[in-house]
Amino acid sequence: MPPASAIHKVAFLGDYLPRKCGIATFTTDLRCAVAAEFPAMQCLVVPVNDLAGGYDYPAEVRFEIAEQDLTSYLRAADFLNITDVDVVCVEHEFGIFGGPAGSHVLALLRELQMPVVTTLHTILREPNAEQRRVMRELIRLSTRLIVMSERGKEFLRDIYHAPETKVDLIPHGIPDMPFADPNYFKDEFGVAGKQVLLTFGLLSPNKGIEFALQALPEIIRKFPDIVYIVVGQTHPNLLRHEGEAYRLTLERLAKDLGIQKNVVFFNRFVELEELMRFIGAADIYLTPYLTESQITSGTLAYAFGNGNAVVSTPYWHAAELLGAGRGRLVPFRDAPAIAVAVVELLGDDTLRHALRKQAYKLGRDMVWSHVAQLYAASFEQARQDHSFVGRKSSPIRTLDESPGQLPELKLDHLFRMSDSTGIFQHASFTVPNFAEGYCTDDNARALVLSLMLQKLGHGSPQLGLQAATYAAFINHAFERGRGRFRNFMSFDRRWLEDVGSEDCQGHALWALGLCVSQAGQGSFQMLAAQLFELALPVAAEFASPRAWAFTLIGIDEYLRRFNGDRRANHIRESLTTRLAQSYADTATEEWHWFEEVISYANAKLPHALILSGRCMDNIRLLETGLESLRWLIGIQTSKAGAFRPIGSNGFYQRGRERAQFDQQPIEAQATISACIEAYHATGDMFWVVEARRAFEWYLGRNDLGHALYDAGTGGCRDGLHVDRLSQNQGAESTLSFLISLAEMQALQNLLTSFKEPTGN
């Protein structure tokens, strides 16, 4: 850094030790290296926590971010702005930030007043739509971008169209360790006189350790004294969801191959000093990763830069670092090839030592002290670039620039209304009404809510267990011989009818489709996919437009995962055609609707057309959906500008007076969902305003001026009568509010994270 640099304080944003992950290790090493090279520079840290209690951080950590809490990202931005930070250095990896594809961090970056230097630890060659959108916005908001390989620069230029002038290539840093004979360290680990293969890092299935194990019998045949050491604990995320299943599989494989005496699993997160001794003891470092899509590998950088001979599969970082004969590259998932390469290097001391010396020499440009100098130069360039471009000067947001405050999520009443069978239909005040039993409609809604909340990061063990109960109810409700769901069940678990309504079938398909589309549900997805496949054909023959609509929403979710399913696509085309025809047959200049009566869950009909029209690229369907929704909103807005849904006490028959009361929560929820979908389709903020108007109905912006949402219980009252609120808080009303809250939170997160609209 030039002596005259004006940079005095740098904030590092990312995971941080003692959190156990590669990004945490990198951020910690980088921060310590910069602080050591520039003692006058203040180097503070803003880590992201994946646990509610956070971690026992060192003193340099000044502010913590809750991974899934968008408001904590905005508070972090305010903190950085008022503490005179000169540069923010972001360590970016999609999975460490909250929101779809880690989009929450964009909200923070947009509010910062200082330059941002972003290190890209992952650059995807084939991003999905959300990942591409996040990456493009990240590039726009960053003053400078740091990549660790030439291929990373190519991807930024060719795939994301990043300006090459803002990209710096800085290698992954490594500790500075003397070049030494491996035999010097082997005594410490009890492997003196043996040849040592080493793999280290957090253990997970993508590391390909099983192929290294399968290569060992052939290696042992040539070198009986070989020892393969696998250092590192199971990745914390994998450990939380699957325990030690993968490690146990590897241990069983080693025993089945008869190589257990030659394999050591060191199941612990090792500190840097101990790790470097392991590296020092290795004759060959082995990385048998399964796919090419890894642009950076810290473990490879450590091993190579400190003088290990390396055998690796040709993932992107390895192919670049080990090219031109600097190591040995073997095909993916090819145990015999691994064996051949290892045997060659172990059998040729001259070749192996030549590779070690070459790697160590190249590694001198990768030591942290040198990397810190390169980062400092990037910081200074970012400061100059930022001063030239200029930024807004005030972090203060006016009311119209701030996201509307939403109620805090509270699931007390949801859990109160649920038991080991499912969710009860009705409540007497806030107490479950056992006499009314359960229904599939509400259990489907409850499963939808659970999945939405999990996607938003509000998952909890209790919610996960309850979601399994709701899924079990739907599974039990399905009559496989008829392909139909039963609906009503008594408290003593007796079905009260043989076949449920068409709308019940639609609700179930909606929940099942969402379950299929949402990654990470494991056996939930398998069960949901099976039920969806069995239940969908029957829905094609239904007569209820609402059943069509719920089914179409479920089909859309299902096709997000299995878009090649021809039958599902055919049924979607058929149902959308019928729904559009229903509109064409009924609508007039005065009555822009699908039926002669406007009854319940009305906005689901235009919602389904908007969604299907957008996804099928059918402008006619999309425009019909938007037209009918805009008309519905018009007749459901009072003169005072409040949401006034069609009352269920008579509904609204064409040519007659509309029912003003009893207004039901399900109408607000359906309208919110439809308006949000209309915004996604068009990018028109009109729909955001209308979604907010409908949501505020729950909070007291209605004909009586009373809130239907009960902040004390987390439940929602059943309806708005002409002179009072219903004091009962049943399942449908509570679920309608909670689903609305989840959808509004997702929308608010999106609007806060991204500046540009989402429309096609």
pLDDT tens column, 564-621:
999 999 999 999 999 999 999 999 999 999 999 999 999 999 999 999 999 999 999 9
Give the model's confidence band at 394: pLDDT under 50 very low, under 70 low, under 90 confident, else very high. very low
Instruction: Label each residue of 465-482 as H, E or C.
Output: HHHHHHHHHHHHHEECCC
Rounded mean pLDDT of the chain? 93
Q: Is the pLDDT of residue 400 over 90?
A: no
For the chain, domains (ranges, CATH) are 9-173+368-399 (3.40.50.2000), 183-365 (3.40.50.2000), 438-586 (no CATH), 610-753 (1.50.10.20)
Q: What is the pLDDT of residues 278-335, one digit of tens each?
A: 999 999 999 999 999 889 999 999 999 999 999 999 999 999 999 999 999 999 999 9
Contact by Cβ (8 Å): 395, 82: yes
* Residue 201 token pair: 């890092």
Predicted confidence at residue 53, as pLDDT, reads: 87
For residue range 449-494, what is the model confidence (pLDDT) as tens digits? Answer: 999 999 898 878 899 999 999 999 999 999 999 999 999 999 999 9
Determine contact, residues 671/636, Cβ cutoff 8 Å: yes
Give pLDDT tens digits for 55-84.
999 999 999 999 999 999 999 999 999 999
Q: Which of 587, 492, 510, 585 is nearest to 546 (CA)?
A: 510
Cα separation, 297 vs 278, in Å, equals 17
Tokens of 397: 């947001």
Tens digit of each residue's pLDDT (9 = 90 or more) over 480-538 = 999 999 999 999 999 999 999 999 999 999 999 999 998 554 567 899 999 999 999 99
Give the range among 199-208, 429-438, 465-474, 620-629 with minimum mean pLDDT.
Answer: 199-208
- In whole angstroms, give the CA distance from residue 443 to residue 441: 6
Burial class (CB in 10 A: 0-12, 13-18, 19+), 484: buried
Give 326-373 pLDDT, tens digit per residue: 999 999 999 999 999 999 999 999 999 999 999 999 999 999 999 999
Does position 270 have pLDDT exceeding 70, yes or no? yes
Q: Is the pLDDT of residue 1 over 60?
A: no
Question: Is residue 125 helix, strand or coil?
Answer: coil
- Residue range 701-754, pLDDT digits in tens: 999 999 999 999 999 999 999 999 999 999 999 999 999 999 999 999 999 998
pLDDT at 90 over 90: yes
pLDDT at 399: 43
What span, in angstroms and rounded, lies between the C-alpha atoms of 116 and 90?
7
